[in-house]
Structure formats: C-alpha cells, structure tokens
Structure 1
Amino acid sequence: MIRKKSRPEGPLDYAELARLLPAPGDPHLSLDRHLLLEEHLMNEIQPTAAVPAPSRRPARRVLVIGVPATAATLAGAFAFTALTNSGGGDPAAATPPPVAAPVVRVEPGSTAQLASTVEHIAAAATARTMPEPGPGQYVYVKSEVSYLTVSHTDTDDSKAWVQPLHIREVWKSPDGKHGWLDEPGYQAKGGTTIDSAVENSLTAPSYDYLKTLPTDPDALLKKIYKETRGQGNSPDQQAFSTVGDLLDEQLAPAKLNAALYRAAGRIPGVVVVKHAKDAAGREGIALAHVDQKTGERTEWIFDPETYAYLGSRAVQVEQADGVEPGTVTESTAVLERAVVDAQKQRPGAEGGRA
C-alpha cells in the first residue's frame, strides 16, 4: 500500500508544526513549585555566579509527576537533568540516580504534651554547652541527608523520588563570610566554597548574628514573624521553618537554642509526634507543623531520653500533586557538630573540638 504524503516536502513553519502536534499537557503545578523550579533553573544556567550558602533543603518540593510526553514533559526532563547532574561541573562527581521515596504510617500529632515536651527540650539545650567559635575558626556540621528531587513519568504517577541518603559536611566561619561544603555526588569533587557577601539575617544566619538575637521567647518570636512576613508560606509555617533552619547546619548559644524551642512551641499548629525516625534510623519524639498549602508536615526529631536534637523529617500527610500521604520527602540526621580550627578540618584532627 502506497501512502500519499499529506503535506509538501520542506521544513514546517511554526503554524503547521503547531497544527500537527498534540496540545501540550497541563501539569497543574502549584505556584510555589513553579517558583522553586524556576529559581533552580536560573541558578543552573548562571554557573559563573557566586555560590551562595546553600539552604538545608536544596531541592525540596520541586516535583513534576505524571506530565504527558509533550512540551511539559520536555520541561520536566530538563529540570530533572539540571537537578540530578548538579555535581559542580566535575565529571568525576557523578550524581547518583534518585530512588523511590520511603513511605511511613502517618501518626497523628497532639498538643496534649506540647508544653512539657518543649520544656524538656529547652532545659536540655540550656544544659548542653558547646565551645564558642572565635576568629579564624569554623562551625562544622556533618549530616546524613536525603531531599526530594525532580521526577516525571507517563506510566506511574504515584511515586515521589528522593536523593539516596548521603553525607553532607559544612564549615562556616563565625561571621558567615567564609565556608566550605563537601557533598560527594552533589557538588564538585573535593567540595566547593560557600563564601558569602550576603548580609546576615534570619534567613542567612551566622554564629555572630545568632548571638545578637533576643533570648526572650516572646520577643524572639515577634522578631521572626516580623522579618519573615510575606516570604511564601503562611506566617505560622514560615516562622516554624525559619526556626528549623536556624537549628540545623549552624551552632547557636545555649540560651538562644532554648529560646528558639520555647518560641516554636508557641506557634499555632505545632504538635508533638511521639514516634519519628531521622535519616540515620534513630527513633525519637518530634515537634511538628503542617504546611496547609502543600500538605507536608515538617518534624524536628529529638532523642526521647536526652532530648538532644537528632535531625528532621518531612512527611506528606495530605495528598498533593500526586504525592501520597506517608511519603517521606525529606530526611536529615545531624551526626556531628563541632568547632574546628581550619576550613576542611574534621573533629578529631589537631585543633578540632566537639
């Protein structure tokens, strides 16, 4: 059978191409996901720009699932390539492929023991002392982490994909101007500088900046609400997220640590989750808050006996963008926190102090 050509030979113009191709699908991404994806893509296409100090959740909530194989899929595929091959441009730093996100039972949170739990955590923070970093020294934090990455599929729209658990080490000078990040597979081989000229703030804190914050919980919480207003989430969720970011890859004076926990306990919507596991598999009790926009619950996990901070977890508690309830979209575990005498120096080496 001979088929007649339905169009003349030669290149198609745009109108003809648009007529022949199916209409692009609509991924129905929420506004905050569009903005996060756009921000990351802009960072990827401007590799010569100064490297800012990374947040603790570099790829969180950027998700494309079940997008038809048209223009939207191509955009998702480009984003997937950008995120999963961001090893600093070093071919030796090949990024591991993503894995299916773990799924856990969603345990309801409760306010019944919130006040007593917060006081236990605050008291433990007050009693726990750390050496204060001085000029020329660095705050060192070693963590095991996994964050949500970008995925798309035409055959299975029920899975979310995350980075495999991996080690992340940061060094930060007390003034916040100098630093180093070593995250094999996700940065250039050997690590990368995170020197910063950004002015210290609640969203970019240094140890020296944290020392200036009020240790009265009410005054501290008022400052957090005021300075983070309009930054994307609801005021309560933004306040909770800000406190969490201050606690994770940084060192804070003991009194401020206690004030941060007491302030967090006064944020509406904060609950206690009795059973939670960090990225290292350590069982703990958690302070948690649900983001009403995304249906994701952020959990700060503490040792149930010593109330020491272990790490964090983000669990989807309501279905959103194809992510099923119980999906763990982020998991971290702080393995070591110390003051060292030089950048790239690890505790246990000469000059390192835990």
Structure 2
Amino acid sequence: MDEISLLNRVRADIPARSPDDVIRGRAALLRAMQAPPAPDPARRPRQRWIWVGSAAAATCALTGAIVFGGALGAPVGADPAAAAVLGSAATAARSVVDPVVGPGQYLEVRTDAVYSAMGTTEADAEVARRERDGNLEEGDMTGFLESSVQALWVPSERSGDWIEVRCARTPVQTFGPRSETLVAEWEASGVNDRYVFPAGKTEYGAPITMFDADTAADLPRDPRQLLERIYRDNGNAGPSRDGEALVWIADRLRSGTVPAELRSLFYDTAALIPGVTITEEQATLNGRTGTAIGRDEGQNGFRQDIIIDPETGAFIGERQVLLRPVADMPAGTATGSTSVTTTVVDAAPEGTSLCAG
C-alpha cells in the first residue's frame, strides 16, 4: 500500500485549526504517548487519534523513546525455544514453491487488519475546555479497535493497471462506557473505494512499493550479515536496536510479497536477535493459528510479535501488544495487527465487492 497516498487522503479531511488548537493537541498527544515519535512514522501499522472536541483526526504510530543499544558486537541470539521454532519455520520455507503469476493473471495481496482509534469524548473535551483551557491529560483519552480490509491486485505485466480496494473501517471492540461513547460520537470518514494505478504508480506519481526478490536483491543472504546490515540501516531508531530489528523484519513480512527464500532468511535472522521469545504457543489471527514470536520493549510499553507456522514456514501475520494500560485499553490488548493473504487470481474485481464480506 502507498503510505504517502493514504496520508494525503487523511490530511485532506482535517479541518483547519487555530495555532492554539494545534499546540494543545500536540502536547496532549505527546503526554498520552509518554515518549517522542520515532523518525519514520510509516514503519508500523498506524493508530488513529481523534480529538472530538476540535473535530480533528490524525494518524500516528504508538512508538517509544529513541535509545541506542551500544556497540554492535556479536548477536547473542533468541531464547532457545523461540530459536527452535524459527529454525523449523525457516527449514520448511526453503521447500516452498512460490506461486507463479501467469499471463493475464494477477497477484492478489489482501490485508485484514485491526487498528486502535484513540481520542476524547465530547464530555471529556468539554471538561478540558472549561477547566484546563482545552489542555488534555492522559486520563481524558479512551480508545476502541476497528477493522481495516484492503487488497491490491498486481498484474503479471507490471506495466498494466494495478487495482486497489480499500474498505471503510468498522469498530470491532470497545473497552467500557467511555469507549462505547466515543464510538457512538465518531462519524466514519472512510468509504469503500476502488483505485486504478497505471503501471503501479499512484495519482501522485509515486510507485507502489512491493517487497520482493528484486527489491531485496542487495540484501546479504547470510543471517548474521543481514542482522548487522539491519542494525546499521536502522541507526538510532526505535526503543532498542534489537527491538527495531524485529520490527524491520515484521514490516517486510507483512507486505505479503516476500518470497519463500527470503522468509526463510528472515526467520533465521530473527533467531539471532537477543530477547526474542515465544509469547504465545497458539496464537490465532484472522482465523489462522500459529506460534507468536516477539520481544518486549518495556520503555515504550508494547511488544512486537510475528506469528508463523513452524510446520509450513507460512507467515500468518504480526501484531503490537500493549504491556501497560493506555486509553482504557488494558495491558495485553493488540492495538495493531495485520494478516496478509497472497493468491494468484485470473481477474481483478470491477467494484468494491471485497468490502461486502
């Protein structure tokens, strides 16, 4: 999915706000996050923040403080149990034959996701306006989870028309009375949309990014060399170099276009990351069950998981799990999760029937 295109659409819907509104909103957001944002906001699935009192919405990632883990040195490695699961998945992936997109066919990449939306109810915003000159506090925030479905159809001839369908988000889980009130007060801004991108370029002229063998041609094929490359490319981003390395791998796996050879390489690389453990033996995402492998990041209050099938080497999805309560959502809540299914099909849809299911 073209993140810049999505961001432009979101920003186009934001009404004008006064400088004071902007300052108050930014200050409240930073207090609620308890940390500055990471330098690259497109690295993780995004959560929607809603300031009902100012009728504005913005998209941001729940990220943490920037801390560098020190000199690189030799990787220590994941917990033995996690390393064994990753090793099994890597071995299985090496025997997988990737589907071939024949002439006239399309590669369908479908993403079923759940994201968090956070904001203030009208009542809480009114209290902030009356008692604190509009300044929000962390306790004013509440949240809920909403589903997001989209799919991209890539033609065998990349110079042809690429088709994308994006469905309107739908609330799927609330967390108490304030959360339910926020859902009731929220007005859906999204609609079911279908887009045609000639030669895979958006209306803004930017190419849609796909992570495949061509994109990854310059990556080392040795797991230790790749991990050192990831450390170097990430620089000071993220709460720790090891946590950000797992995020780097999860970001690419969730594209849905990573060939089996690279999936195997990524699993072997994840097995070298210190602090990686099995976080759930049987984790179900979008109806598929696998083993969740993750790494706690105590400083920014979330855990990054990847969910894999060690028997087949399949990548089921990824998620970010809260380690402490935020906006009425308890610890253990998956504030962002994506499950990607890739299929070869004979034709792209004409309308938005994807959103009807």
Instruction: Give the structure-2-normalised TM-score.
Output: 0.61
In 2, Cα distance between equivalents of 1:304 and 1:235: 26
Larger radius of gyration: 1
Of 185, 194, 199, which residue of structure 2 is paired with 1:191? 194
Of 91, 108, 117, which residue of structure 2 is paired with 1:149? 117
Of 59, 63, 79, which residue of structure 1 is paired with 2:57? 79
Deviation of 1:179 (Å): 4.3
Match in the other structure for 2:71:
none
Cα distance per residue 1:108-164 (max 9 Å; x no partner): xx924122111111011111211355898754222321112232235685743221x
Match in the other structure for 1:260:
266
- Specify the code of the residue in structure 2 equivalent to 1:297: R
In 2, Cα distance between equivalents of 1:212 and 1:139: 24
- Specify the code of the residue in structure 2 equivalent to 1:315: V
CA contact (8 A) 1:315 1:329 kept: yes
Instruction: Rate the CA distance shift 1:296–1:32 in 2: closer, same or farther, 3 A.
Output: same
- Specify the code of the residue in structure 1 equivalent to 2:84: S
Match in the other structure for 2:151:
169
Helix, strand or coil at the partner of 2:266:
helix
Helix, strand or coil at the partner of 2:258:
coil
The total of aligned residue pairs comes to: 268
Match in the other structure for 1:129:
97
CA contact (8 A) 1:56 1:249 kept: no
Match in the other structure for 1:103:
none
Q: Which runs of 4+ in 1 moved over 6 A?
A: 134-137, 173-178
Cα distance per residue 1:153-196 (max 9 Å; x no partner): 35685743221x34321234789997443121156644235645
CA contact (8 A) 2:276 2:295 kept: yes
More strand by share: 2
Instruction: Rate the CA distance shift 1:218–1:304 in 2: closer, same or farther, 3 A.
Output: closer
Match in the other structure for 2:227:
221
In 2, Cα distance between equivalents of 1:174 and 1:246: 21
CA contact (8 A) 1:157 1:322 kept: no
Instruction: Rate the CA distance shift 1:137–1:218 in 2: closer, same or farther, 3 A.
Output: farther
More helix by share: 2
Cα distance per residue 1:35-93 (max 9 Å; x no partner): 88xx7xxxxxxxxxxxxxx8772x23x547xxxxxxx7645x4126x89xxxxxxxxxx
Cα distance per residue 1:300-350 (max 9 Å; x no partner): 11236544221222211234566431122012223x31345766599xxxx
Q: Percent same amino acid among aligned pairs? A: 26
CA RMSD of aligned residues (A): 4.0
Q: Report which structure shows greater RCO (CA 8 Å, sep ≥6).
A: 2
Of 332, 337, 342, which residue of structure 2 is paired with 1:331? 337
In the alignment, structure 2 segments of 5+ residues that lack a partner are: 1-19, 61-77, 125-138, 170-189, 352-357
Instruction: Rate the CA distance shift 1:74–1:158 in 2: closer, same or farther, 3 A.
Output: closer
In 1, Cα distance between equivalents of 2:162 and 2:315: 23
Of 225, 237, 254, which residue of structure 2 is paired with 1:248? 254
In 2, Cα distance between equivalents of 1:248 and 1:32: 25
In 2, Cα distance between equivalents of 1:231 and 1:179: 33
Instruction: Rate the CA distance shift 1:34–1:306 in 2: closer, same or farther, 3 A.
Output: closer
In the alignment, structure 1 segments of 5+ residues that lack a partner are: 1-17, 19-23, 40-53, 65-71, 84-109, 347-354
Helix, strand or coil at the partner of 1:244:
helix
